[in-house]
Structure 1
Amino acid sequence: MLANYIGILNLNEDESNLKSLTMNRPLASVIIFGRYRVIDFILSDFVNAGIKTVGIFGQTHSRSLIDHLGTGKPWDLDRKMGGLFIFNYCLENPPISDVKLLKNNMEFFHRSSGDHVILASSRMIYKIDFNKVAKYHEEMGNDITVVYKKVKDEEGRFLNCDVFNLDENNKVLSVGKVLGLNVSVNVSMETFIMKKDLLVDFIYEGIEKNKHGSFKECIYESVNKLKVGAYEYKGYLSCVNSIKNYYITSMDILDLRVRKELFFEGGKVYTKTNDSPPTKYYEGCEVENSLISNGCLIKGKVKNSIISRGVEIKEGAVVEDSIIFSNCIIERGAFLKNAILDKNVIVEEGKKLIGDKKFPIVIEKGEIVENLLRKAGESRK
């Protein structure tokens, strides 16, 4: 168990292609798989490995993230020694670089007792045993170990992600970007292991030289100076970096193989609990190959969809290939296909929302679809 390791989640993530879902929340707290948040997976990986101290460095619109994480109790991080620490949970405009954010909270690193750190982002969804990664890091004597997966990105799921060029001993030679050329590449999982003292040196160097746009650049510029090795991961991996990829990643959970790997192998996935009653299925409803959370009322038809807590789908309504966030209401006779509905959306009676699998339609939080359609019609006049 990694009692001498500190977990760091750097939430300085590119959300430019997710604005419909991240307008008022960080990517880390976006609902995924019905009852979880994006951050739950990496945070659970830390806890399952025995890490007792976790620092989360966020920047903007963090109210929902703070509400979700609370004191860290669901992850057993509400403790006197170590525990969960959340930094810079306020709106700052313009946002500062993550190097400066880390520097502004340097006391966290000095006061934490661990001598190694695992630095990760939240947007990579995977299940990994960090004990094995840490063992590899220490046995190889690396200054830094990065985690990667070899993929042939036929669907563009990792477009613009970092890619490692490696030698025969898995030493990192250089870092590039995924260009979508349908070739096999070593995609970075944005996860790094190093000594705490080295991380502190990177932070001070980044501030002193005032040239680093992100902390990752500090690491990548050191590949020719330090021993930077790579650990190959072979399990399920997805990157939530666009609406399209969020939709694809969410639908992956309907695959039994993916569901087993993420939720039943290598430890649990923890999240904030909700004391809602079981879902009620009414006579005449139809449900096929769908994931439905607690507290729902299902009277219509649901197929190949993910339904979050507290959703009501009324008689005659049809929901296909869609993702519905919490507390939405789908009125009688409504039809949804390839749609994503944020929280508290009302789709009025008889309305149709039809998107494309590559470009699903997104309805933002709290909207009433009748009003949206009326506004769209007025704008075309």
Structure 2
Amino acid sequence: MAWPRSSRIVPAIRACWRLATWGTAWRGEAAGAWPTGWAAASDAPSPESPITPKGPASAAAKIRCHRVITHLRGRGAERGETGTFRQLNILGDPPAPGQKPDKLWLVYLDEAVVIVLAGGVGERLSPLTRERAKPAVYFGGPYRIIDFTLSNCINSGLRRVFIATQYKSLSLHRHIRLGWNVVSDELGKFIEVLAPQKRVGEHWYQGTADAVYQNLYSILPEQPRHVIVLSGDHVYKMDYGKLLRTHIERGAVATLGVIEIPRDEAGRFGVVRVDERDRVVGFLEKPKDTSGLGADDHVLASMGIYVFETETLKRVLEEDAARETAHDFGRDILPLLINDAPVYAHRFHDENKGRAQYWRDIGTLDAYYEANMDLCQVNPQFNLYDPEWPLRTHQPQAPPAKFVFADARRRGTAVDSIISAGCIISGSFIAGSVLGPNVRVHSFCQIENSILMPGVRVGRHARLRNAIIDRDVFVPRGAWIGFDPAEDAHRHTVSERGVVVVTSDDQPYIGPFDDEALRLEADVDRVVAGT
């Protein structure tokens, strides 16, 4: 950050003092104490007769004030007789879509550090997580699940992001390296992967809180005012700047994101009880008995999103590490805080332009499948195409999708579907399906309500329905998937609702060939060969 020239220091000091008289920009040994490091300035205001503000401070004055504050901190202003600095008490408004943010608000975003927890096993998504971490599972064609959390960070103005990984993380590491190298290290910004290193013990991460605790050695040197803890395996759009604003304005030591859910789903989530000001007064982790949750049809569920004061986070993590617990934010950290410190809830404000709040914990095969199928609707609940909230990912260079053959007997067609770059649909019909990049579908196929991950090859005459085909799988000629429940259960993984998951180790059932289809194939091949 460029420092003010000497001719600008005194106006900056005046701006700081003006702001300090409103909101106590720092704490000295006495209220209004002037930092002695600047007391020699010839026309600095006297602490005994502070300047009376005549109007709102300009954005330029605020930013100059912050520069002086940061400079004082760098010269040791947090120690000795200059007192202990604290953040300014005057916030700019979070920007509306398409508007520039207040400069001082950018300061708060710049001074926050994010840690994304992306080491989950995702057992309920198996076999899709057999070779990859849950945040690395493909979603919506070219995207990975973690892309939505990282896009939220970028769109919210957060540029210092750690990603804690653990389980089968190679593909996730590669994806982050190739697709998320989008901020400048030279400007102090980063999106950086933290692999587990056993720095504080002999164990790998024992829980969400332990994952953050073991990475304090990376977080604390960044000197953040606030630490934002996120999960890397949910699909939603959220402005974390609004969450941070709620935290600061209410003077909280911790703030958690919450969303209203139907009461009968409470057993899947941490349930939060709040008072009339949304201060958290109780927390139940995945309650089996919901009779004590009141009479409302809906309850507040934790989204696994937290903001902490850095010193508070460090203290509670150290206390938790010294005890025999599950080392989990929901089970252990929040109950530790809510009894003796102000912890608040921030109600989820959806940045998506859909019909309702959209937040999906796609932790099961059926939830994953249904969320993908929704994207194919004319008006999906989750909008991938919102220019005001762009979604980023890594995509290999690939040509546009292509549909070939317009013969009435075989026509390359797709309706109500997402077809990614590099796909070739050759004389086949596709409906209500999501195809990742570089999928090849050969002639005479019929694919309905299915998800094909990148690199899938589908041989001629194959029929797919209500299926998920894993990456790089070859579906052989004449395969029937999703039509014979007995064969599907014998050969593949089938979800509770009948979705068939096919991996590279599977041997699909080869269905009967229709004689008319074979004659058509022979006729077409003769025409192509010119015989």
In the superposition, the TM-score normalised over structure 1's length comes to 0.88
Corresponding position of 2:370? 248
The 2-side partners of 1:95 and 1:36 are apart by: 28
The 1-side partners of 2:263 and 2:474 are apart by: 36
Deviation digits for residues 4-32 of structure 1 (CA, Å, limit 9, x no counterpart): 11111112436221121111111011000
The 2-side partners of 1:339 and 1:345 are apart by: 13
Corresponding position of 2:269? 161
- Structure-2 change in CA distance of 1:148 and 1:77 (3 Å): farther
Whether the aligned pair in 1 keeps the contact of 2:183 and 2:191 (CA below 8 Å) is no
Partner of 1:21: helix, strand, or coil? coil
Whether the aligned pair in 2 keeps the contact of 1:42 and 1:122 (CA below 8 Å) is yes
The 2-side partners of 1:352 and 1:319 are apart by: 10
What is the deviation of 1:271? 0.9
Say yes or no: does 1:305 pair with 2:414: no
Corresponding position of 2:507? 369
Amino acid at match of 1:188: S
The 1-side partners of 2:468 and 2:256 are apart by: 34
Deviates more, 1:284-293 or 1:179-188: 179-188
Partner of 2:322: helix, strand, or coil? helix
Partner of 2:259: helix, strand, or coil? strand
- Structure-2 change in CA distance of 1:356 and 1:108 (3 Å): closer
Say yes or no: does 1:172 pair with 2:287: no
What is the deviation of 1:236? 1.2
Say yes or no: does 1:102 pair with 2:217: no
What is the deviation of 1:254? 2.0
The 1-side partners of 2:148 and 2:339 are apart by: 32
- Structure-2 change in CA distance of 1:97 and 1:153 (3 Å): same
Whether the aligned pair in 1 keeps the contact of 2:115 and 2:161 (CA below 8 Å) is yes
Say yes or no: does 1:116 pair with 2:222: no
Corresponding position of 1:55? 162
The 1-side partners of 2:307 and 2:436 are apart by: 35
Whether the aligned pair in 2 keeps the contact of 1:151 and 1:185 (CA below 8 Å) is yes
Corresponding position of 2:116? 9
The 2-side partners of 1:243 and 1:260 are apart by: 18
Whether the aligned pair in 2 keeps the contact of 1:137 and 1:145 (CA below 8 Å) is yes
Q: Cα RMSD between the aligned structures? A: 2.7
What is the deviation of 1:89? 5.7
- Structure-2 change in CA distance of 1:195 and 1:274 (3 Å): same
- Structure-2 change in CA distance of 1:194 and 1:288 (3 Å): same
- Structure-2 change in CA distance of 1:319 and 1:159 (3 Å): farther
The 1-side partners of 2:384 and 2:282 are apart by: 31
Deviates more, 1:283-292 or 1:66-75: 66-75
Whether the aligned pair in 1 keeps the contact of 2:446 and 2:464 (CA below 8 Å) is yes
What is the deviation of 1:153? 6.8
Say yes or no: does 1:331 pair with 2:459: yes
What is the deviation of 1:210? 3.4
Say yes or no: does 1:87 pair with 2:194: yes
Corresponding position of 2:443? 315
Partner of 1:70: helix, strand, or coil? helix
Say yes or no: does 1:278 pair with 2:278: no
Whether the aligned pair in 1 keeps the contact of 2:321 and 2:327 (CA below 8 Å) is no
Deviation digits for residues 131-182 of structure 1 (CA, Å, limit 9, x no counterpart): 222112111112111111112277x6x7512221222221222222266989
1:137 to 244, 247, 251: 247
Partner of 2:307: helix, strand, or coil? strand
Whether the aligned pair in 1 keeps the contact of 2:161 and 2:192 (CA below 8 Å) is yes
- Structure-2 change in CA distance of 1:356 and 1:119 (3 Å): closer
Partner of 1:186: helix, strand, or coil? strand
Structure 1 unaligned segments of length 5 or more: list them: 375-381
Name whichever structure is richer in helix by fraction: 2
Corresponding residue pairs, total: 369
What is the deviation of 1:215? 3.5
Partner of 1:20: helix, strand, or coil? coil
Deviation digits for residues 236-283 of structure 1 (CA, Å, limit 9, x no counterpart): 111111111111111222235446645416421111132001111012
Name whichever structure is richer in strand by fraction: 1
Corresponding position of 1:294? 421
1:358 to 480, 484, 497: 497
The 2-side partners of 1:316 and 1:111 are apart by: 60
The 1-side partners of 2:254 and 2:130 are apart by: 35
- Structure-2 change in CA distance of 1:12 and 1:171 (3 Å): farther
Corresponding position of 1:377? none
The 2-side partners of 1:188 and 1:21 are apart by: 26
Deviation digits for residues 48-103 of structure 1 (CA, Å, limit 9, x no counterpart): 11112111111120000011000664543655523022112689x97431444333
The 2-side partners of 1:350 and 1:180 are apart by: 50
Say yes or no: does 1:70 pair with 2:177: yes
Amino acid at match of 2:313: L
- Structure 1 consecutive aligned stretches of length 4 or more whose deviation exceeds 6 Å: none
The 1-side partners of 2:289 and 2:179 are apart by: 38
- Structure-2 change in CA distance of 1:71 and 1:336 (3 Å): closer
The 2-side partners of 1:73 and 1:16 are apart by: 26
- Structure-2 change in CA distance of 1:209 and 1:179 (3 Å): closer
Partner of 1:169: helix, strand, or coil? coil
Partner of 2:392: helix, strand, or coil? coil
- Structure-2 change in CA distance of 1:272 and 1:232 (3 Å): same
- Rg: which structure is higher? 2
- Structure-2 change in CA distance of 1:20 and 1:291 (3 Å): same
Percent identical:
23
- Structure-2 change in CA distance of 1:259 and 1:160 (3 Å): closer
Whether the aligned pair in 1 keeps the contact of 2:270 and 2:283 (CA below 8 Å) is yes
